[in-house]
Amino acid sequence: MKPRAGRVLVVDPVKWTIVRELAGDGSEGEFGGLCSAAHTGDRSYLAVTSVVKGEPRWLLRLIDVADLSTVWTDTIEIDPSNRHSYPNPLCVVDGDDPVVFLLERSKAALDDPEHLVLWRRVLKGRTCIGHLRDGYLLRSGQNTCPHYDLKGKLDGIFVSSIDDYSPPDTRLFFENQSRVAWFDLATGKSVPVCRTAEDTAAAGVELLGFSAPHGRFVGDAIAVRRVRAGGGQLVMLTRRGTVSQLEFPA
């Protein structure tokens, strides 16, 4: 299937008009397939993914929102069977510098379905900072969420996955399960913290990290699991496991 070109639209929040449009060059498709933004003071950065048409490669760009210039571009080689497994960028600001964490599948999903690689990209270059396995089938639908300690220091990343992987050219879905792991940036180790085993027809998981008790939301993060009937379920997490679950019917 021919990839769509894709665009990133910048909206003026006062006039409510689309003021800028970002697009890749002619060799790229699905520009803006995944985006992650970070802000510090008056500076903003945007990490954007795109694909190279006809080739098993992804591009990851960091864009300075002030002038929409490209700070750097990385080319990511992927296994052809992972064509639809997006590398998931997480853009944060560490000190004054933009950092992009990238969750990526470097091996064929069918050969090694539990394996994901976490990269850290700074101005100087990209380095692998860890691997996630832990017996979790992290096959597709990955999401990442930064967690800051009470002093505001980035101390780790929650990683969630929806296991809705289907083999290429089939409509077969193995499972519909959600999983969350904690990746500790200090130790470089990951720990599984949450697994929803029952069939929930999950359509996505979002994560929201926080550092202090927030009403009844006590822990380190909230994962939201959506269900087909329009209701929702919140799962409250700590780095060591699930605290509680709340169901909300439509």
Partner 1 sequence: MCWVRDVDEDGVEDLAFGCPIGLGGSVFVLGSRRAAKITTIEPSMQEGLDFGHRIDISSSFGTQVCAVPDQDGDVLDDLLVAGTSFGGARGAQAALSVVSTKTWKIVRVVVDRELAKAKSDK
| CA proximity to 63, closest of 35, 95, 88, 85 | 35
* Least gap, CB of 237 to partner 1 (angstroms): 13
Tokens 């060591």 sit on residue? 240
In angstroms, what is the C-alpha Rg of the chain?
A: 18
Please, what is the minimum distance in Å from the beta carbon of residue 143 to partner 1? 10
Least distance from C-beta 249 to partner 1, angstroms? Answer: 9
> Considering beta carbons, is residue 56 or 232 the nearer one to partner 1?
232
Q: Alpha carbon of 16 to those of 9, 20, 52, 68, 125: distances in Å?
A: 12, 12, 32, 19, 37
Quote the least distance from Cβ 209 to partner 1, whole Å: 10
Instruction: In whole angstroms, give the CA distance from residue 100 to residue 13.
Output: 25
Task: Give yes or no for a contact between 117 and 104, defined as CB atoms under 8 angstroms apart.
Answer: yes
C-beta closer to partner 1: residue 12 or 97: 12
- 72: CB partners within 8 A, 6+ apart: 61, 62, 121, 123
Cβ closer to partner 1: 95 or 152? 152
The least CB distance from residue 120 to partner 1, in Å, is 25
Binding site for partner 1 (CB under 8 A): 9, 11, 13, 16-18, 21, 203-204, 206-208, 214-217, 222, 224, 226-232, 234, 246, 248, 250
**Pseudo-torsion of CA 205, 105, 114, 79, nearest 10°?**
130
Give the residue with the Cβ less far from partner 1, 10 or 123.
10
CB nearer to partner 1: give 34 or 78.
Answer: 34
Q: Which is nearer to partner 1, 140 or 233 (CB)?
A: 233
Q: Which residue lies nearer to partner 1 by CB, 167 or 231? A: 231
The token pair that represents 154 in the structure block: 């980035």
SS3 62: strand
Give strand ranges (E) for 143-215.
143-148, 154-162, 178-184, 189-196, 205-209
